[in-house]
Amino acid sequence: MEAFRVLIVDDIKSNLMVMAKCLQGLCEVIKAHNGRDCLELARTHPQPDLILLDVRMPDMDGHAVCKELKASPETESIPVIFVTGNDSEEDEEQGLLLGAIDYITKPIRPVIVRARVSVHMQLKQQRDKLRFMALHDQLTGLFNRYFLTENAEVRLAHFRRHKTPLSVVLMDIDKFKSINDTYGHEMGDLVLVAVAELLENNTRREDVVARLGGEEFVILMECPLDAAMVKVEKLRQQMEQLMPKGLMVTGSFGVVDACAEVMELNPLLKRADECVYQAKEQGRNQVVGWRTKPAALQEVTYKGN
Each residue's pLDDT expressed in tens, for the chain with a length of 305 residues: 578 999 999 999 999 999 999 999 999 999 999 999 999 999 999 999 999 999 999 889 999 999 999 999 899 999 999 998 876 677 778 888 899 999 898 888 999 999 999 999 999 889 889 989 999 999 999 999 999 998 888 888 877 787 888 999 999 999 999 999 999 999 999 999 999 999 999 999 889 999 999 999 999 999 999 999 999 999 999 999 999 999 999 999 999 998 756 678 899 999 999 999 999 999 999 999 987 654 344 455 556 65
Indicate the average pLDDT of the chain.
90
Report the pLDDT value the prediction gives residue 101, as an integer from 0 to 100: 92
Judge contact between 102 and 81, C-beta under 8 A.
Answer: yes
Report the pLDDT value the prediction gives residue 183, as an integer from 0 to 100: 95
Task: Round to whole Å and give the CA distance between 89 and 86.
Answer: 9
Whole-prediction pTM value?
Answer: 0.71
Judge contact between 285 and 240, C-beta under 8 A.
Answer: yes
How many C-beta atoms surround the C-beta of residue 62 within 10 A?
A: 25
Report the pLDDT value the prediction gives residue 295, as an integer from 0 to 100: 37
Q: Rounded to the nearest 5 degrees, what angle is found at the Cα of 6, between the Cα atoms of 76 and 54?
A: 75
Enzyme catalytic residues: 215
Report the pLDDT value the prediction gives residue 298, as an integer from 0 to 100: 46
Report the pLDDT value the prediction gives residue 85, as an integer from 0 to 100: 81
Task: Round to whole Å and give the CA distance between 240 and 275.
Answer: 19
φ and ψ of 253, to 5 deg = -115, 140
pLDDT tens-digit readout, 171-200: 999 999 999 999 999 999 999 999 999 999
